[in-house]
Amino acid sequence: MPESDLLRQLREDTYRTIARPYMLSGPLQGAALRMLVAMSGARHVVEVGTFTGYATLWMAEGLPAGGKIYTIESDAAHAAFAQRYFDQSPLNYRIFPLLGRALEVLQSLDGPFDLAFIDADKGGYEAYYDVLLPRMRLGGLIIADNVLFRGEVLHTAAQQGNTARYMAQFNHKIRNDWRVENVILPIRDGLNVIRKISDGTL
- 72-92 per-position pLDDT tens digit: 999 999 999 999 999 999 999
| Whole-angstrom distance, CA of residue 82 vs CA of residue 84 | 5
Q: What is the structure's pLDDT at 171? A: 95
178 in any annotated domain: yes
201 in any annotated domain: no
Strands 191-196 and 136-145: antiparallel
Element (H, E) at 50: none
- Closest to 145 (Cα-Cα) out of 58, 65, 84: 58
| Whole-angstrom distance, CA of residue 129 vs CA of residue 119 | 11
- Percentage of residues in the chain having pLDDT higher than 70: 99
What residues does 136 pair with on adjacent strands?
A: 113
70 in any annotated domain: yes
CB-CB contact of 116 with 132 (8 Å): yes
Number of domains in the chain: 1
Residue-wise pLDDT tens digits, 10-46:
999 999 999 999 889 999 999 999 999 999 999 999 9
CATH of the domain at 175: 3.40.50.150
Range(s) of the domain holding residue 13: 5-196
202 in any annotated domain: no
Q: What is the structure's pLDDT at 94? A: 97
* Residues 6+ positions from 6 with CB-CB distance below 8 Å: 57, 85, 88, 89
Q: What is the structure's pLDDT at 151? A: 76
* Residue 195 φ/ψ, nearest 5 degrees: -110, 125
19 in any annotated domain: yes
pLDDT of 200 higher than 80 = no
Say what the pTM is: 0.94
Mean pLDDT, the chain, rounded, equals: 94
68 in any annotated domain: yes
Q: Of residues 177 and 154, which shows the higher confidence score?
A: 177
Q: What is the structure's pLDDT at 202? A: 55
Residues in the chain: 202
Residue-wise pLDDT tens digits, 81-128:
999 999 999 999 999 999 999 999 999 999 899 999 999 999 999 999
pLDDT of 201 higher than 70 = no
Per-residue burial over 35-47, b = 16 or more CB atoms within 10 Å of its CB, e = otherwise: ebbeebebbbbbb
- Closest to 124 (Cα-Cα) out of 109, 139, 140, 145: 145
What residues does 99 pair with on adjacent strands?
A: 73
Confidence of residue 164 (pLDDT cuts 50, 70, 90): confident
* Residues 6+ positions from 16 with CB-CB distance below 8 Å: none
Confidence of residue 163 (pLDDT cuts 50, 70, 90): confident
